[in-house]
Amino acid sequence: MFATFLPPEVKSLKEATSITLAERMERQPIETPLSQQPIATAYIHQRISSTPILLLHGFDSSVMEFRRLLPLLWTHNETWAVDLLGFGFTERQLGLPFNPPAIRTHLYCFWKTLVNRPVMLVGASMGGATAIDFALTYPYAVQRLVLINSVGYTGSFPQGRFLFPPFDYLAVEYWRQRKVQALLLSELFGMEPDSIEALRCAALHLSMPNWHEAMIAFTKSGGYTDLVDKIPRINQPTLILWSEADEMLGVDDAVKFQQAIPNSQLHWLKNCGHAPQLEQPQLIADQLLAFRIP
């Protein structure tokens, strides 16, 4: 059975991994200093006695992007995945500051409330920038850090700060329509089932309440534009996983991360693009499990 907070479109999922993950999704009220009301926070959890792995998704995404990776991890290791503030299926309360500092605060309150042990923190794309920000602010909460095709040097959008009504709304609506139209066209023209399912998962959260408002607020915050000078301060052992065919960020940032982070190692990923957690989940799982602290 699917949780009632999920939109009706969840019933259109076809892939077993997608359905299983959606069925396992929970929401927990998390108290934060951001609001008088707790924030209903969506997450996935499998408990095993080990140092937890905590997965952070990318921009305008959700825990669903880990649908193929999570089952490969949770049979070996305690594993968490959480929808960040303003994204996925976590509650978007109107008036909240959907920006990097608020995302960091909400993530800390989630960690403190439900995990409360040092983790191996894994961030993909924008989630990598969130992981860096979190690890620098709360170093005692992060034993090891993994960056998968991470935002940090590039991939943010400082020009978003200059958007104003109605262009801010039009910008995020254009982004939404791209996903919706891609899904409609893929179903109409009979694309590969895997591709259609990926689009279903990517669009599933778009009908959640206050999606437009949260996206506008985050876009106008400029995103993670101030991390470059902070990256060399990362003290945790860090694994950098980077796709040789990353079509979004390219490959130059991988070397920059390795050179800037003192205790880091870079592993190149072959035959995959910007989302290796979907394209090569077994490869990513093997890397994470080898890097973890037993």
- The model's pLDDT over 257-289, given as tens digits with 9 standing for 90+, comes to 999 999 999 999 999 999 999 999 999 999 999
pLDDT value at position 294? 63
Answer left, alpha or beta for residue 139, where phi above 0 means left and psi between -120 and 50 means alpha: alpha
Assigned domain for 281 exists: yes
Q: What angle, rounded to 10 degrees, do the helices at 211-221 and 167-188 form? A: 120
Assigned domain for 37 exists: yes
pLDDT value at position 162? 72
- The dihedrals phi and psi of 140, each to the nearest 5 degrees, come to -70, -15
Assigned domain for 47 exists: yes
Burial class (CB in 10 A: 0-12, 13-18, 19+), 29: exposed
Domain of 126 in residue numbering reads as 25-157+226-291
- The model's pLDDT over 80-112, given as tens digits with 9 standing for 90+, comes to 999 999 999 999 999 999 999 999 999 999 999
Assigned domain for 242 exists: yes
- The model's pLDDT over 109-167, given as tens digits with 9 standing for 90+, comes to 999 999 999 999 999 999 999 999 999 999 999 999 999 999 999 987 777 777 778 87
Assigned domain for 149 exists: yes
- Tokens at residue 113, please? 């409330």
List the strands of the sheet with 79-82, edge to edge: 26-30, 39-46, 79-82, 53-56, 119-124, 142-148, 238-243, 264-269
Assigned domain for 203 exists: no
**CATH number of the domain that residue 105 is part of:** 3.40.50.1820
Assigned domain for 206 exists: no
The tally of domains found in the chain comes to 1
